Structures are given as C-alpha cells and as structure tokens.
Structure 1
Amino acid sequence: MSKLPTRAVEKPWGKDVLPAPFAAPAGQRIGEIWFEPPADVPSLLVKYIFTSEKLSVQVHPTDAQAKAAGETDNGKEECWLVIATEPGATLGVGFHEAIDHETMRAAALDGRIEDMLVWYPVQPGDFFYIPANTVHAIGAGVSLIEIQQNSDITYRLYDYGRPRELHLDAGIAVSRGEPLDPSLHRHIPDRGTVELASGKYFTAHRLEGAPDAALAADYAGPLLVIPRSGEVRLGDEVLKPGDCASAPGIDALTFDPEGLSIIVRPA
C-alpha cells in the first residue's frame, strides 16, 4: 500500500509539453501516464491522457461481450475528468441521433462517423462517464484523468486514415448507436466534495480536504487516491499532484484541509 509505479507511454498523438507537474523528456511525445494497478485494487486502472491530435473513434465491450468473443481480458467502463485544454478542445461521445449498425458500418468506412458523433467543447472540470458500448473519441488539445476497469480491449471503428488496424466486425457488434445519456456528463465546481461516479465497477469522489464520516465509511476498504492540489499523507509517505497511491482504507490517509484529491474504490 504505497505510491504506484508509473509508466510514460509515447504516442504519435501525444504532447511534448505536458501540464504541471508532468514534463515530457526531450524529444518525446507523451500520450499517456499509467499507474500500475496494485495487488489490492487490481480491477482498476488510472492514467493521465494528453493529446495533440484526435484519437480513434472507438468502443469497448461489456464483460459478458468480451467473454463471449473469446477475449482474454474483461470489458471496460471508464470515466474522464478534464484537467487542461487548448482552444477548441472537444470530446466526441455518442451520436446526434439513433443509428442502426448498417448505417454505422457504412459511416465508419467512409469517414462520416466522425461527424455523426457529438463533439462536446470541454474545459477543465468537465466530467464524462463512458459506459461500455458507447462510441467515443478524445479530441486534440485535451489533458484528462481516466479511471477505468483494468482492461486493454479497444475496438477501433475509424482512425482518420491512419495505417492502423480497425475492428469493424467486433466493434459494430457491441456499439450502441445512440446519444449519450445527459446525466453522464457535467461540469464539477472548482471546490468542494463531489461524487464523480457510482457504477457497477467503481465509485469515485473528488474531495476537498478530508471526507465526512458518512463518506469515509463508504471508503473503509482498499482504494486509490490521486492528489490534485496540496498533499496527502500515507503513513510517512507524502503524496503530491502527479502521484497515485493505494491505501488499505480512507483512515490510512491524512488530507490537506484545503487540498483537492480524487479517491476511487472498486464497487
């Protein structure tokens, strides 16, 4: 139970200038920073994502769909908290109107699927929950925190002509051709304690200071903590923004009264 090891992942669509406290090594474009899932919370993965170009239009299956397809990994639900943006930054999530699979396939093949998505203008503090089966894409100029099921299954439907493999059969089969439920995206205030997600696979809150007694009771077991401002102490270890750590329970952590942090636990 301590600070998690990180892995910086170079991507052609990554950035060579990252938001504080991160810094890209000279000559590298960093697209993701992963925190290795700990043994006590193996089902969750936290990462930072930084984009200079649009990511592919993609979709993830449910656990049951992944198993039925013979995948060796589970499905994936995820959520995004935007932390920095450049002018014109957008996230594409869900469709403007309901479409069937035949229409979706044709649009993926000729590129129209990009314009069929709803591209939401975003700013720091915008939050999106992305259920499995939701067609989505991260636009350029976005930095965000992603909390997800620990799974590497991604079906690409469209990739702007880049020479990468697409997964049309598998992806279309699990895609919902519908708009995103409006309750799954919102802007969270700059301060205060806010519930981010409470789903089938994980629960997450953004805290200001320490949680109250009721919330602390809900986080009595193993969890992950992501400081956003100020420090969080885990025994003798000091956690700062840019870190992620596992803890046996909320009572193992000491929070800066004015600091902001994210806590997340398996459901």
Structure 2
Amino acid sequence: MTIEHASVEIARKPWGRLDLRPWSSIDAATDPVGELWLERTDKSAPNPALLLKLLFTSQPLSIQVHPNDAFARSIGLPNGKTEAWYILSALPGARIALGLNRHLTPQELRAAIRDGSIADLVQWRPVAQGDVIFVPGGTIHAIGADIVLAEIQQRSDTTFRLFDFGRHRELHEDSVVAASEAGPPPTQPPPRRLTDARLVLVASSHFVFERIDLQANSHWGLQTDREAWILVIEGEGRIGRANATVGDAIFMESDSAGIDVGSSGMSILIAYPGPDPVASFLQDRSERMTKPTDALSGSEIIEVLT
C-alpha cells in the first residue's frame, strides 16, 4: 500500500526549454531541459510498470520508433514501449508526426532513411491543447517544436532514430526496418466519457489513460488495486496528505486516498495498467469527506545525466 508525492528527475536535451513554467519551477539556467521524469520517491522500491514524463520542446525531436513487446523480447529486452501523449500546451503551427503517408517496403524505408526523405513521408498533423495521441510500439513518430506534453509509457527507453534534423546523432537503420510498422498509423478511438468527471483518453492492453475534472470544493475518494500515476494539470487540491498543484504528480499502488478539491477546481491526468477502465476507481464523497491534517512535503528533484 503506497501513496507518494513523486520525485522529479531532470533530463537535459538540446531540443528542450529554459522556462518550464507553470509545470515546474526548476531553473534550467543555460542548459535546456527536455524531460522531467516523475518517479517513485522510495528508491528501494521496484520500478513501476509505467513511467510518467513531462516533455518540453523548442525544436523537433528525432523521427523515431520504439519496439513493440514481441520485437523487444526478441532482442533480449523485457518489454517494448507503447506510449500516449496529452498535449498540455502548443503554440500555433505546432505539430507531431504519427505513422507514414503510405506503406513502404524495407528497401524503400532504408532509402528514405539514407536520403532524409523520411521527413516528408511521415504523417504530420497539427496539435492543440487537450489533444491526445496514442503511439503503439512499432509506430514511426516524432514530436515537433513548441509543445509541452505529458507522456505515459511502458517503462523502456529503447529508441531507434530515422532522422535527426541536422543534429548528427546515430541513426539505427537496421533496427528501424526490423522494429517498425512502416505504414499509416492504426485508427485511434476517440475519447470516451465514463462519468461526468471521467474521460477515458486511451484504453489499451498496456495502460488506461484518463482525464478527470473535479468541481471546486468537492470531495472524492480514489481506490486502486494496482499502480496509478496522477498528474495535476489544472487547479489545486489535496490528494491523501499531499498538497498538489499544477505539475505535481502522485504515485499510488493498491491503496486509497481522499481528494479535497480547491476553490478553483482541479483537473488531473491518471494512468494505470490496462486493459479496461476501473469503474470503481473514483467515488464522490462530497457529503461525508473530512479533510486530513498533515501534508506531505514537495517533490524531490534529481539531475539525470544524459
């Protein structure tokens, strides 16, 4: 039984940002931060199956692909990397790429990687705040500039690059050809309203990803029989004994917690292992909830050298 205010690990990237507000007060100084990894505070605990990140882009990331479970296991890895993105903010003209415009043969894919034409063969699409994108393992994809997003993923950092926008990092032609579904992306079902408060963004075999919108000054209960990541994206409140505001994350596992919502309401993203939404996950306790007294301290911050 666990409820923790998540620690924050910093990953500095050339495509990142110096200003992370309002999602974090971390001062990036002159070294851009590309990712914040939200992790267990208890470093002796086993790693959760899912990893929650915040990404901040000022330049496009590489065009890349992650392996699915079958390919990952064929090369000795425990699992692949399926992920989903929730767009927290995006400037006009911001875009992502998902899949290809048409199916390519292995020979065509190799040629497109070698001559750089793959950048024109991916399906670029505009994005705006509130969009959700599901990226199954094996899907060629990219995140463009001027985006802040929350990413939930299988715990894996295996990435094969096809194109790097002039940054001259290694490309992984053979692995890309072996691991990718070199064609259009699978159809993504639209978000599904589960209750007035709960919107299911993605329901997959690897995780369920929801947005939950809670009214001002309301009281709720969370009950989970598995791990769950919670990220506050609007407003503020109290989750268990943790005061939580925009950018704060909470990890729960096989536990229950009360939520006391602040005067401006609160919206959270929550992710937990799939495949199906848990109907009893959230209970309205506005008539009988009492507030706890002791608050947990804020997040620990750790630098990640990448």
- What does residue range 54-69 of structure 1 map to in structure 2 within 5 Å? 54-69=60-75
In structure 2, relative to structure 1, the CA distance for the partners of 1:241 and 1:74 (3 Å cut) is: same
1:263 and 2:266 are equivalent in the alignment: no
Bigger mean CA offset, 43-52 vs 155-164: 155-164
1:176 corresponding residue in structure 2: 181
Q: CA deviation at 1:147?
A: 0.4
Matches of 2:165 and 2:191 in 1, distance apart?
28
- When you count strand as a share of all residues, which structure comes out higher? 2
The residue aligned with 1:99 is 104
Looking at secondary structure, tell me which structure has more helix per residue.
1
Task: State, as a whole percentage, how many aligned pairs show the same letter.
Answer: 34
Tell whether the 8 Å contact from 1:93 to 1:134 is kept in structure 2 after alignment.
yes
* Letter of the 2:134 counterpart: Y
1:225 aligned to 230, 250, 258, which one?
230
Change (3 A) 1:114 1:186: farther
Please name the residue that 2:51 is paired with. 45
Distance 1:216 1:28 in 2: 38
The higher radius of gyration belongs to 2
Which residue type is aligned with residue 27 of structure 1? Answer: T
Tell me which amino acid in the other structure corresponds to 1:247.
Answer: M
Secondary structure in structure 1 of the residue aligned to 2:177: helix
Greater mean deviation of Cα atoms: 158-167 or 88-97: 158-167
Partner residue in 2 for 1:112: 117
How far 1:207 sits from its partner (Å)? 0.3
Q: Contact 2:191–2:201 (CA<8 Å) still a contact in 1?
A: no
1:144 aligns with 2:146: no
TM, length-normalised to structure 1: 0.88
Contact 2:17 2:28 in 1 (8 A): no
Cα RMSD of the aligned pairs, angstroms, is: 2.4
Paired residues, number = 259
The 5-angstrom pairing of residues 117-266 of structure 1 reads: 117-183=122-188, 192-209=197-214, 219-249=224-254, 251-256=256-261, 258-266=265-273
- Kindly provide the CA deviation profile for residues 120-170 of structure 1, in whole angstroms up to 9, marking residues without a partner as x: 111101110000000001111111000000101101111123221111101
SS of equivalent to 2:4: coil
User: SS where residue 205 of structure 1 aligns?
Assistant: strand
Q: CA deviation at 1:209?
A: 1.6
Contact residue 87 and residue 128 of structure 2 kept, 8 A? yes
> Which residue of 2 is the match for residue 6 of structure 1?
8
Distance (Å, rounded) in 2 between the aligned partners of 1:241 and 1:171 = 37
Structure-2-length-normalised TM-score: 0.78
Distance, in Å, in 1 between the alignment partners of 2:19 and 2:190 is 27
**1: CA distance between counterparts of 2:260 and 2:62?**
38
Deviation at 1:22, TM superposition (A): 2.0
